Homo-oligomer: A and B are copies of this chain.
């Protein structure tokens, strides 16, 4: 009880701090979603902007692979993209498309209509962590990330929480499939998801010892193969990494959530 109250206080304080930070950022940094003119302030010729648009497009179209960091000159653009509204706009647009797809499906309602969601930066956000990593301009730091994840304070991505609830209401069995390590991050991930409203999913599938060292494509293909073997029909598969959406048994439709901050092979 005390622990739960403490956790809520911590959460409230964190959100307050983040709200201030966000306010600071949005008043001192370029927000090209809101005022396109402001790009010219930091990039008069528009050259870096054009380059970073190309870079981001290549990432999202799966043309760029095994990249380790965001190009440093793109920091202000990726920051603006993530913080100033276009990222949320892209997510909401994508959800509209997924909703249309769902509404057009004819399900069997036999308990085997399934949907797969990735966890990190799909259900819950690591944006606050990556802000400290210069939005991906700094290389991945496994120790730092683990200590962030151990806090269990990743906020829900509201657009995906909406999708999650629509899926449950529509009779889907929702499987959350993540590369997070089951032993070290199991309980904290369950708690984090619950606190953020992800309640009612069929199963949270995490990486166990037997999948250690496998790429995300291989590991997640194996998981999906097992589900299909159990009779599930995977209608949809949503993730922020192409490695969530490639390999075997990828599902009837895949949906790529934008993520210009890091690459998981």
Please give the residue numbers on chain A whose beta carbons come within 8 Å of chain B beta carbons, in ascending order: 32-37, 39-40, 46, 49-51, 53-55, 57-58, 60-65, 85-86, 89-90, 92-94, 97, 253-256, 258
Nearest B residue to A54, CB-CB: B93
A39 to B40, CA, bound (A): 12
Q: For chain A, what secondary structure do more than half of its interface residues adopt (helix, strand, loop), or is it mixed?
A: helix
Determine the distance from Cα of A258 to Cα of B53 in the docked complex, in whole angstroms: 12
Question: Please, how many angstroms separate the alpha-carbon atoms of A34 and B60 in the complex?
Answer: 23
Q: State the CA gap A84–B80 with chains docked (Å).
A: 23
Measured CA separation A94–B34 after assembly (Å): 28
Given the known A-B contacts A36-B36, A36-B37, A37-B40, are A89 and B58 also in contact in the complex, defined by CB atoms under 8 Å? no
A34 touches B63 (CB 8 A): no
Number of copies: 2
Question: Are B49 and A97 in contact, CB atoms less than 8 angstroms apart?
Answer: no
Which of B46, B60, B85, B253 contacts A57 (CB under 8 A)?
A: B60
Query: How close is A16's CB to chain B, nearest CB, in angstroms?
Result: 28
Bound-complex Cα distance A200 to B254 (A): 38
The 4 A-B pairs at the shortest CB distance, nearest first, are namely A54-B93, A61-B256, A36-B39, A60-B61
Instruction: Give the residues in chain B near A65, CB-CB below 8 Å.
Output: 253
Measured CA separation A57–B32 after assembly (Å): 16
User: Complex formed: what's the CA distance from A130 to B65 in Å?
Assistant: 31
